[in-house]
Amino acid sequence: MLEFSATIKLKDSIHTWGKGQRMEGPLLGSVELVRGWRTINCGWCGANGEIMGDENHLRLQLLADRARREAVRELGELGGGDYDAAMAPAEVLAVILGYGICRDQRERDLIGQNRFVITRRYASSTLRSVLAFRGFLDGVPDLLTMPLPAFTAECQRGRVPGVDLTADTLPRGLSAALGMALALRADRMDHDVYALLEGGSLEETLDTLRMAAQMHADRLMVFLEDRTPLGNRHDLSAVGCRFRDCGWQVQELNGHSVKEIRAAIYDSRMMTGKPHAMILHTVAGKGCIFAEGLADCRDKKTTESLTRSALLALDGKIREEMAELEAILNGEKNSQ
């Protein structure tokens, strides 16, 4: 039985990257999350099931919002860009990279090496920010300063710590993730494969979906965004129905709730025999006040004043979350 725990220290700091810009405010350098590893292969729930309280959920939400802030700043310097890809997946990136993917050899020795696959759309400034705040890029500072297209290219070449593979399309990403899951099982390695894939037609992937179910690839977890309303939790969206009909275990989630995403991964580890699909119901441009909810924010121009207003709004949200976390750490509020 192995036990390990780590804590973060709240502090005000000035983080510098990008075009030599100073990013000021209540920020965090690298993020250390409190964990309760009880067995080598289960960093999520432990042997007896880890109860994850408000403290850890707040840490994950802080990680997501700090990454959003950096993405807004970077896109503002560029004069605009894809605010949808930068804003909407912040929570799922924070959960996967905050808890599912090991940052260094110390963590790998405790919980092993899970795999992370994304499609090119998610190789954005938000991904880079989450990786940087978590400390994945400490040894490769060039990845912090290079232009975003070059960073995306490095992701595709497999040169970015924390990202095992970046695929061009949904079918390629799904096929690669399935191959990894089956290879890990053949090697008798009890690790997970997380695949964050962009939406699109599933018709080209039907054979892969059916094969994953037939091969009982139960360590494969696919995350897919869906913009339809969440609705009744007992109903499945059209995307969810397609996965279910192919033999997958399906969960429909609020894609902006770290608590739901974390719980879904925990539940998936308890369910064997089927691959897992997490349908993330998200809002376009979430967290950026001038882009949130807009259908055309994938290629949106911005101005200095719009960027400034979005940064101020995110700074306010971050300060509120930090104050709530400090209250929990100081015993002024119970973590539940």
pLDDT reported for residue 48: 31
21-23/115-119 β-pairing:
unpaired
* Domains of the chain: residue spans and CATH: 15-329 (3.40.50.970)
Nearest Cα to Cα of residue 165 among 101, 227, 71: 101
pLDDT reported for residue 336: 53
Which residues, 6+ apart, have CB-to-CB distance to 199 below 8 Å? 170, 224, 225, 226, 227, 239
Q: What is the pTM for the complete model shown? A: 0.83
The residues facing 197 across adjacent strands are 224
Query: Residue 42 and residue 36: Cα distance in Å, rounded?
Result: 10
Contact 249, 256 (CB under 8 A): no
pLDDT reported for residue 16: 36
pLDDT reported for residue 290: 92
Nearest Cα to Cα of residue 100 among 50, 162, 39: 162
- Residue holding tokens 């998200």? 282
The residues facing 223 across adjacent strands are 196, 278
pLDDT reported for residue 51: 46
The residues facing 278 across adjacent strands are 223, 251
**3 state DSSP class of 108:** helix
pLDDT reported for residue 255: 93
pLDDT reported for residue 304: 93
Angle between helices 54-78 and 125-134 (to 10 degrees): 130
Q: What is the mean pLDDT of each run of 10 residues along the chain (336 residues)?
A: 32 36 38 36 36 78 95 92 91 91 70 86 90 90 90 91 92 95 89 89 89 95 86 73 93 93 90 93 92 86 93 95 88 64
**3 state DSSP class of 25:** coil
Token pair listed for 83: 């605010």
Secondary structure letter of residue 103 according to DSSP: -
Per-position DSSP letters for 130-194, written without gaps between them: HHHHHTTTTT-THHHHS-HHHHHHHHHTT-STT--EEESSHHHHHHHHHHHHHHHHHTT----EE
pLDDT reported for residue 26: 37
Nearest Cα to Cα of residue 87 among 244, 232, 282, 272: 282
